[in-house]
Amino acid sequence: MRGISIFDGRVAGAAVWAGLTLACAGGMQAQADDALPPPMAPGTAIPDGQIDRAIEALDGIATDVMERAGIPGMAVVVVRDGETVFAEGYGVRKVGEDARVDPDTVFQLASLSKSISATVVAHAVGQGLIGWDTPLVEHLPWFELSDPYVTSHVTVGDVFAHRSGLPEHAGDDLEDIGYDRREILERLKFMPLNSFRNTYAYTNFGLTAGGEAVAAAAGADWETLAKTAVFEPLGMTSTSYRLDDFLKRKNRAFGHVRQGDGWQAKYVRRPDTQAPAGGASASANDFGKWLAMVMDVGGDIAPEAALLPALQTQMPAGAMPSPAARPGLYGFGFGTGVDASGRVALSHSGAFALGSGTSFVLLPLDNIAIGVLTNASPVGAAEAVGRTFMDLVEFGEPERDWFAAFAPRFAPMVAPVGELVDKQPPADPTGPGMDDQLLGTFDNPYFGPIEIADGGEGLVVKLGPEPMTYALTHWDGRTYVLEPRDENNPDGSVSTLTFAPDGPRDRATSVTIGFLNGNGLGTFKRD
C-alpha cells in the first residue's frame, strides 16, 4: 500500500487517511450550541432538514463521481443515529461481467483495516487483557528494534499512532518479496529508527506488531480474535481478516488497475501478512454495522474508556506546509481532524495500488457517518463522494469540486516508480552484459540472500524466501534493470540493479537493488 500527502503530492503512507486528505467534517445539532462547552462548538450550525436533503442527494453524487472517475464499481453506506439509512451499490464487480455491485458485495478494505483493528484492541483493553500503554515485548518477547530502549518501551498505542520511530512503510518491501508476518516483524530490528514518539511515519508492520501483541495477550491468532470480539457480536457475517474468506465470497468485488483508457482485473492483492493493517474485507452493509458501533463509542464491543483514546488525537501526522494549514492528526488507527466549519471528524482512507480505494468519515456529535468502497486503484473517488456528501450535511452545498481536487493528488500512488522510468537505454552501452564474474550468491541481513544466475537468455536475480525470479536487462556498465510488479511497484515500474566494483573484469563483491533500497538497506554482499 502506498499513499500521498495532499500538501505536496509525494508518496507518504500506505493509505491516505481522510483526516489529513479530506479536511473532513464532524458536527453537532444546531439547537445544542448553547449547551455545549466551547471546544465542542462548531463555527456553523446545521439547519433542520439539511442532513435529510444530503442523504436524498447522495445517489446523484455517487453516480456523478462514478462516471467521472470511470471506475468499475462502488458501494456506499450511510449510518445515522446508529441505523443504516442509505446503502447502495453501483457498477459491476468485475469488468467484462454482468454481476452488479450491491450493498452486500464484499470489498477489500485496505487501510480501513487499521480503524477496525483499533476497535479489536479496545475490546481487549476493556477485557483487561492488555492496555494501550502496554509494551509490545510483554507479549512478544522476541520482538526487537534497532534501539534497545525503544524495544523495551514501544507500546501498543505507539505503533497504532505511527510514532514508534520506524520509517515510513518499514517492512512493506519484505512483504513484496514474499516473507511471512513473523519473519517481517523479526527483521524490523535492522531498520534505522527516527526519533521515538517524536516522529510520525505511517507503518503497516509497526501496527501489525501491535495487533500481534494483542492477539498473544488474548491467547488467539489475530484473525480469530477479531471475529469473536467484533465481527460475530455485530452480525458482520461477510467480514474477515483472512484473504481465503474473501476469495470464497460469491458476491465479491475484484480489484482493478488502469489499463490504457480502461480497467482490468489483473492482480489479486494478498494482504494476509499485514492483516491488522490492511487485510480486512467487508460489505457496505457490514461496514455500516461497525460504523454504528463506533458512533456508540464502543457499544457492547468495548467500554467507552477503552475505545476513546483511539478516537482522540495522539500524534500530529507530519508537518503542515504553512501556519494557516489545518493540521493532520491521528489517534490510534483513526484519523482525527478539524474542518472549515470547526467540526471534528473521525476518518480514514484505504488504498491498494493493485485495485482498491476506500474511505469513511464519521461525525461523532451529529451521529452520521459515510463509508465508500471501490474496486479500483485509488483515484480519489471514494474520498470525493464522502467529502461532497459531508459538505451537503454541513453547508447545504459542495464547497468545491472534490473529485477534481483529489484526482491529481492520488495519481502518484499508481504511477510507475524507479529512476529509469521513461528513460531510453544508452545507444552504445559499455560493460559486459552476460558476465560470469557477476554470478553467485550475495547476502543481506534484512532481505536475506539473493542469487545472480544464468537464466539461459541472460542474467536473472532470485530473491525472497521462496525465490522470485526476475530477468535482468543490461543497461550500461555494471547496471542492469528489472521490472518488479507488486503493491509498491505499479505497472511500468523499473528498478536498477548495480554491481560493484564497476571494473568490467573484476569479480563482483556486492550488488545494490534499487526497489529494495528505499531505507538504504538494499545492498547485498557476496558470501
The amino acid sitting at 241 is Y
Query: What percentage of the chain carries pLDDT values higher than 70?
Result: 94
pLDDT above 90: percentage of residues in the chain: 84
Among left, alpha and beta (phi > 0; psi -120 to 50; other), residue 210 is alpha
- pLDDT above 50 (res 31): no
Phi and psi for 323 in degrees, rounded to 5? -60, -20
- Identify the weakest region by mean pLDDT among 32-46, 249-263, 333-347: 32-46
Of residues 442, 426, 425, the one with CA closest to residue 507: 442
Give the full edge-to-edge strand order of the sheet including 450-454: 468-471, 459-463, 450-454, 440-443, 523-526, 510-513, 495-500, 479-482, 473-476
pLDDT value of residue 11: 33
Instruction: Give the CATH fold of the 19-92+103-307+328-354+373-414 domain.
Output: Beta-lactamase (3.40.710)
Residue 431 Ramachandran class (φ > 0 left, ψ -120 to 50 alpha, else beta):
left
For the chain, the straight-line distance linking the first and the last C-alpha, in angstroms and rounded, comes to 33
Q: Where are the domains of the chain?
A: 19-92+103-307+328-354+373-414, 436-526
User: Three-state SS for 372?
Assistant: strand
The model's confidence at residue 326, banded by pLDDT at 50, 70 and 90, is confident
Residue 33's pLDDT is what?
A: 60
The pLDDT assigned to 343 comes to 83
CATH architecture type of domain 436-526:
Beta Barrel (2.40)
- Residue 3 pLDDT: 42
Element (H, E) at 216: helix 204-218
Reported confidence tier of residue 325, pLDDT bands at 50, 70, 90:
confident
Which residue in the block uniquely carries the three cell numbers 484473504?
243
pLDDT averaged over every residue in the chain: 92
Across the strands, what pairs with 526?
A: 442
Q: Residue 25: is its pLDDT beyond 60?
A: no
Q: How far is CA 336 from CA 25, 161, 342, 469, in A?
A: 10, 11, 12, 43
Q: Over 70: is that where the pLDDT of 407 sits?
A: yes
How confident is the model at residue 112, as a pLDDT? 98
At 496 the pLDDT is: 97
Q: How confident is the model at residue 40 (pLDDT cuts 50, 70, 90)?
A: confident
Mean pLDDT of all residues in 202-213: 98
pLDDT at 34 over 70: no
Q: CA 261, CA 291: separation in Å to the nearest integer?
A: 35
Out of 25-29, 165-169, 220-224, 272-276, pick the least confident.
Answer: 25-29
pLDDT of the residue at 30: 40
23-32, 294-303, 462-471: least confidently modelled range? 23-32
26 pLDDT more than 60: no
> Which residue has better confidence, 198 or 1?
198
Which of 4, 132, 118, 1 has its CA nearest to residue 411? 4
pLDDT over 70 at 167, yes or no = yes
Q: pLDDT tens for residues 469-480?
A: 999 999 999 999
pLDDT of 10 > 60? The answer is: no
pLDDT in tens, 99-127: 999 999 999 999 999 999 999 999 999 99
Residue 1 near residue 14 (C-beta atoms within 8 A)? yes
Task: Please give the full DSSP string across 35-86, using - where no structure is assigned.
Answer: GS-GGG--SS---TTHHHHHHHHHHHHHHHHHHHHT-SEEEEEEEETTEEEE
DSSP 328: P
The domains spanning 19-92+103-307+328-354+373-414 and 436-526 adopt the same CATH topology: no
- 47, with CB counted inside 10 A (0-12, 13-18, 19+), is exposed
| pLDDT at residue 431, as a whole number | 81
